[in-house]
Amino acid sequence: MYCICCKKNNVKPMKSDTESEEELLWKSETKARHDGQIIYSTIDNEMVDGGIIHLIDAGYGSKHDGDRFILAICDDCIEENEKNGTLLYWGNYMGFSFTEDEVEKSKLMYRRSNNLDELTKN
C-alpha cells in the first residue's frame, strides 16, 4: 500500500497463502474462538511489513463524518514525522514501560510546534 507521506508503495500486509493484499486490506470478519470470545478481524490486526496500515474513523465535525479510511505510513516516514512533531506518539499497546518518556517527548514537540505557529501567525 502507498505511504500517505512519501507516496511510495512500500507498506505491505504480510500475505497469507489464502488471501491477496486486496482481500487483507478490506477484510472484515467476525470469528468465535474456542473459549467463546468474539474476534473481529480487519487490517487493524493483520501483520504488516514496512510500516503501519490501519483503519481510521472520521468523527463528528469532519465533513467525512462516519467515513472509514485505510491509511498506511512507512517506517521511515514514521521516524521522520515523529522527530519533527508532525506525528505524535501516544503509547504502546503492548505495555512496554519506556512509553512515558516517549509520550513526554512527543508532548514537548507538540507544544513547541504550537508555540512556533502562534509566534509566526501575525
Domain coordinates in residue numbering, the chain: 1-85, 88-122
The reported pLDDT for the residue numbered 46 is 92
What pLDDT, in 10s, does the model give residues 42-59?
A: 999 999 999 999 999 999
What HEC string does 23-79 produce?
Answer: HHHCCCEEEECCCCCEEEECHHHCCEECEEEEEEECCCCCCCCCCEEEEEEEHHHHH
Nearest to 73 by CA among 86, 58, 90, 91: 86
Find which of 4-8, 86-90, 105-109 is predicted with most confidence, using mean pLDDT. 4-8
Q: Could you read off the pLDDT of 57-104 as tens digits, one per residue?
A: 999 999 999 999 999 999 999 999 998 889 998 888 887 766 778 888
| Residues 72, 44: Cα–Cα separation, whole Å | 11
Q: What is the pLDDT of residue 101?
A: 85
Q: Quick one: pLDDT at residue 37? A: 93
Give the pLDDT confidence score for residue 32 in this predicted structure: 92
Average pLDDT over residues 8-27: 92
